Structure 1
Amino acid sequence: MTFYKLLLVAIGGMFGSVARYVTARAVDEKIGAPFPYGTLTVNIVGSFILGVLYAWLIRKTADSESMRLLIGTGFCGGFTTFSAFALENVNFLQQKVITSSLVYTAVTLVAGFLAVVAGLALGKNLS
């Protein structure tokens, strides 16, 4: 891990986080519904961007790691971590490791919900 690699992730993450905020707010304000359409949009768009990037980098050989760190880990990571979750599941399915995909999905969803519940409970008890 070098400073240059960390800088690429940080720069991409900064732009991804700002893009997430702007996109989610714009969608939610436009639709005006209590359903989190902004987050849903960000997750789908982020997954699409990561899919395009991943497919493109497979064919590209020159400095693909820098692009992966800047756009994949940085921008898409700041924009949405769901995109990484989706790509990892697609990789499991392409490798025909269905059980790993199902376990990963189930554990992520159940543990994620339980972690939020536990965090909320703990947060209420903090002074």
Structure 2
Amino acid sequence: MEILIIGIGGIAGALSRYAIGKYLSRIAFLSFPTATFLINVTGSFFLGLLAMNMVQHPTGGLIEKYGFQVGFLGAYTTFSTFTYESIRLIEEGEWMIFFLYTAGSTIAGLVACLIGISLKFI
């Protein structure tokens, strides 16, 4: 049952990432990888929120743990694209955008996760 739940969540996460990326690619700022940045930051927020909910309610369901945390967020967020885009920025000589992207992604992701953890509303 866990595999099926992860698979359904993964499909939803991958399709969400694709749709958001496609939409944001039309309104992207310069060569800054806006879509990956926003996807990874929002994914960090939701993982923090869901992880804290699992701590508060350890008997949480399979759908939350496997469907959302492993499946959806695993397919939605993307470290590999982040690293690839970072290397491309270096190759293109976009050093300022590279530093903004890598430092900004790390800091914003940590802050977003911390905000999610601190909400504790469920």
> Do the two structures share a fold, i.e. TM-score over 0.5?
yes
1:62 lines up with 2:64 in the alignment: no
1:24 lines up with 2:21 in the alignment: yes
Task: Give the number of aligned pairs.
Answer: 81
Specify which of 23, 35, 38 is matched with residue 38 of structure 1.
35
- Looking at structure 1, the residues matched to 67 and 78 of structure 2 have their Cα atoms a distance apart, in angstroms, of 14
- Looking at structure 2, the residues matched to 81 and 65 of structure 1 have their Cα atoms a distance apart, in angstroms, of 23
Conserved? CA contact 1:24–1:41, under 8 Å? no
1:52 lines up with 2:49 in the alignment: yes
Amino acid in the other structure paired with 2:45:
F
Residues 40 and 49 (structure 1 numbering): CA distance in 2 closer, same or farther, change over 3 Å? same
Identity across matched positions, percent: 28
Conserved? CA contact 1:13–1:78, under 8 Å? yes
The gaps in structure 1 that reach 5 residues or longer are 83-108, 114-127
Residues 66 and 17 (structure 1 numbering): CA distance in 2 closer, same or farther, change over 3 Å? same
Specify which of 10, 15, 18 is matched with residue 12 of structure 2.
15
Residues 58 and 65 (structure 1 numbering): CA distance in 2 closer, same or farther, change over 3 Å? farther
2:30 aligned counterpart, secondary structure: coil
The gaps in structure 2 that reach 5 residues or longer are 88-122
